Amino acid sequence: MQANIDETRNEAIAELKSALSELESGEELSHFVGGHGIMSRLFEFTWSEPALEIDFRLPYARVLADEESQKEDDAEICAALRMAQLLLMVENLKDTSSEGLHARVWANEDGVGYSISDKDRNDVDFGDDWSGLVHRLEDALPEGAEQLSIIWP
C-alpha cells in the first residue's frame, strides 16, 4: 500500500515540476487546467490521503484581464505548484502527520491557508498564509531533499 502511495506521489511531483517548468518558461500551462471560456479557466490541483488534503483552484489565463493581473495569477500558480511539491515530498510532516493528524492546505481567489487537525478534527495549527506551514515543512524534509522557495505574491 505505501509503495503505491509513494509511486503516485512521485508521479504527481513529476507533473507538478513539468507544469512549473512550463509556466516559468512562458509556455501555456498544459497540466492541471480546468474550466472553460476566456475568463473562467483555472489551475486546479487536488490531493487527498489520510494525512494530507490539498485543494488549489486559482484563476489562469484570463484573456480579458490586464497584463499585470495575468502575471500575478501566474506567480500565484507558481507558488502553489512549489507548495504542492513540498507537501508531497515530505513523507511525514514531523509532528503533523504522526498518528491521527491531518493537514489541509488550500489556495483560491480568496487567498491561501492551512489547518492541521488531530484525530477528532480539532485544529492544532492553522494560518491564513503559508509561512508557518512552510517552516514546519522545511524542518520535516528528508536529508538531501530538493529545496524549494515558496513566495506567495
List, for residues 83-139, the tens digit of each pLDDT value. 999 899 876 444 444 557 899 999 999 999 999 998 888 998 999 999 888 888 777
**Which strands, in side-by-side order, build the sheet including 123-127?**
33-34, 42-49, 52-59, 102-108, 111-117, 123-127
Residue 1 has pLDDT above 90, yes or no: no
Say yes or no to pLDDT of 47 above 90: yes
Q: With the C-alpha atoms ordered 28, 67, 36, 57, is the resulting torsion angle positive or negative?
A: positive
Burial of 12: CB neighbours in 10 Å, binned 0-12, 13-18, 19+: middle
Give the mean pLDDT of 49-67: 90
